[in-house]
Structure 1
């Protein structure tokens, strides 16, 4: 795969994800989903060269589903294919980060408004997710922390009566999620993020629509505000 290729450990991590979900469905769909999540989770790094042959071998499939999956990822702006040069994971595109931020912020503000007021049981479930986030941070479980963050926001959309909207939001924000992953090791910053989650739930419980809207807006814009610092620290990750 050339310079910058995946080492055996990274390839094995991708393989283990695909192998666990190979039953049922088209192989190309499964390969697409696994590569998509590997890109979202930075297991496949921005600018990383990709080889159909090696991916097919490591994922235990033929080259055809890998080729189909890469074509879909290319259409989604997550893989770059340059004739006579090669195939690479797309770098993080700041314009797409900003578009995803706008979509997420707009839809989550709408969801917050619809979700108010909440029953006590619903608030209790959200608070348990926040507590689980604190435990994951203390344990250094960054993957678990990310998924718990996603679960909290997904739950808010579910409480609004529109759970499918969160799935739509997730499809738009892969570039944004890759930026979020870059800041996960920053314990102080993530502690602030979790505190913001708690404040959003407080607003939901009290029925404070205006305060909740302001909190969601500030929360959604946090990573975008870190763009100068992230592009300085990780110049090779950005287009």
Structure 2
């Protein structure tokens, strides 16, 4: 695995560099937002995961996330933030981060988060390389179908593009049981395989991005059940 760590505190980078070396991971470091974008644009084909600090000189972490997402819609991003503001964390997730870790963080915790996110991303890449064309579908409803092997999803026979690993897994969890209402806690357990300590904002932010991508090709099928959670229902689609 190769990691790009974007962090202006060089002491933090040096500390994490030792942990990366212990895991036998390659690592590249950028200490400001402008340099980070340049590094990623140059080396994006070799970078497997991005650790991104929000508070960066020269270019804010939010803008860096947007720039990275323009190059790669699917590379896993873990946001590092010293901010306690709920709006900052939610905005970071909406800008394309898959997860966030609040500073000060335990290096061991961060390593565990990296491993969990990387496993899911690698699974999607390996299965997609194994089969480029979907011959059958693992999840199928009246207007929706999904192939887990190729990590492809279609609504009204139109492909839903640029799904991140977490967005794909979230869609699979919902669509596998149409009309069933899932609480946010249930979705955290199904989609995220480590504790989020009740942080339900993560689900809300990912649902918002997932809806935006799905509604480019079809009607709204992920519905909010107020006071409870979310459900997938395409039974009212005409045609």
TM bucket normalised to smaller: under 0.3
Please say which structure displays the higher CA radius of gyration.
1
More strand by share: 2
User: TM-score scaled by structure 2?
Assistant: 0.26
Which structure carries more relative contact order (alpha carbon 8 Å, separation 6+)?
1
User: TM-score scaled by structure 1?
Assistant: 0.26
